[in-house]
């Protein structure tokens, strides 16, 4: 048992002259939830598929649960749970039948009834997969990813199609998996989701890591400087970025009484993320992914 479940050093992936991933490196510690964030085309999907063993890298060193993913066998794959952005599992089988089949692939699976309850599909366990709604189908994808009791769980945009209540229920499920010791790699475009669930995060843009760190510290102290906003007596709106908002507010009260619309805005993870990726553009990698998953 090592302290890290994923180790990435100088990872590169090129398609001819196009470099999708350009020398990135990071570690994921055992038992933590790590968010990999970035815009479409930034290199997230390529990176994750290399870690999962679906895609070969051009260069660099990668270890997942101590194994090179390019050489991982069935015993290694049984230790992983993977929830893709979309799944091709459809047909005439019911939710329970599909989960029971998948549970049989693993040495120590969870009880199928427990998994069905965990993802909120108790009333749909006899429904055929092809009859599920989009949100219900997504819950089934998550159920398939956790039924094998994985040591490491990959969650790629897991709550797409969930309503707000379902998303909160899913967050509780992820917290319970983390409490059991499951290590989780999460990608999501919901920055509040990353903030709620993750211990650490990395922001990847243009194939490189723009920032990495604890979820409450990523981007550095400068990116977290609060913004004071107010409207003066003449109706003119003002704003000032300052590390000492209390001093600015005290000054405003001394100079002109109580300012209107006074507020102190502290940057959220979304604000910091948008600042990190601003003005970064590159061609999308989506066309490179078609037909290449093996």
Quick: pLDDT tens for 86-121.
666 667 899 999 999 999 999 999 999 999 998 889
- The mean pLDDT of the chain is 87
The secondary structure of residue 109, as a DSSP letter, is P
Lowest mean per-residue pLDDT among 22-36, 188-202, 230-244, 276-290: 276-290
Instruction: Provide the whole-model pTM.
Output: 0.81
- The answer to whether the Cα torsion of 279, 55, 159, 187 is positive or negative is negative
β-strands 152-156, 80-83 pairing? parallel
The secondary structure of residue 129, as a DSSP letter, is G
Residues 169-191 have pLDDT tens digits of: 889 989 999 998 999 999 998 99
The secondary structure of residue 223, as a DSSP letter, is H
Phi, psi of 32 (to 5 degrees): -100, 160
- Is residue 136 within 8 A of residue 120, CB to CB? The reply is no
Cβ neighbours, 10 Å, residue 33: 25
Hey, which residues does 22 pair with through a beta bridge? Answer: 12
Say what the pLDDT of residue 294 is. Answer: 34
Over its C-alpha atoms, the chain yields an Rg (Å, rounded) of 22
Q: Is pLDDT at 221 greater than 90 in this prediction?
A: no
Say what the pLDDT of residue 226 is. Answer: 87
Residues 141-168 have pLDDT tens digits of: 989 999 999 999 999 888 877 788 888 8
- Is residue 186 within 8 A of residue 194, CB to CB? The reply is yes
Residue 140 host element (H or E): helix 134-146
Q: At what angle do helices 134-146 and 95-103 cross, to 10 degrees?
A: 20
Q: Is pLDDT at 1 greater than 60 in this prediction?
A: no
């Amino acid at each position: 048992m090592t302290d890290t479940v994923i180790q990435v050093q100088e990872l590169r992936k090129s398609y001819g002259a196009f470099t999708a991933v350009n020398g990135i490196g990071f570690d994921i510690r055992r038992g933590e939830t790590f968010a990999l964030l970035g815009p479409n085309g930034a290199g997230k999907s390529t990176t994750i598929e290399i870690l999962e063993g679906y895609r070969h890298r051009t260069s660099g060193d990668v270890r997942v649960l101590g194994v090179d993913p390019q050489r991982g066998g069935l015993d290694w794959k049984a230790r992983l749970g993977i929830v893709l952005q979309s799944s091709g599992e459809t047909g005439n089988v019911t939710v329970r039948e599909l989960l029971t089949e998948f549970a049989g692939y693993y040495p120590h699976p969870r009880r199928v009834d427990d998994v069905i309850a965990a993802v909120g599909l108790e009333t749909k366990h006899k429904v055929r997969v092809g009859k599920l709604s989009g949100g219900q189908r997504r819950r089934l994808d998550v159920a398939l990813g956790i039924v094998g009791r994985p040591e490491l769980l990959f969650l790629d945009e897991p709550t797409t199609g969930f309503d707000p209540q379902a998303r909160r229920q899913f967050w509780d499920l992820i917290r319970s998996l983390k409490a059991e010791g499951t290590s989780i790699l999460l990608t999501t475009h919901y920055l509040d989701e990353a903030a709620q669930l993750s211990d650490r995060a990395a922001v990847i843009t243009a194939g490189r890591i723009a920032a990495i760190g604890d979820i409450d510290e990523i981007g550095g102290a400068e990116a977290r400087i609060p913004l004071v906003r107010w409207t003066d007596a003449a109706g003119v709106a003002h704003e000032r970025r300052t590390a000492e908002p209390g001093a600015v507010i005290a000054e405003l009260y001394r100079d002109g009484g109580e300012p209107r619309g006074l507020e102190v805005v502290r940057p959220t993870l979304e604000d910091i993320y948008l600042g990190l990726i601003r003005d970064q553009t590159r061609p999308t990698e989506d066309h490179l992914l078609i037909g290449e998953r093996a």
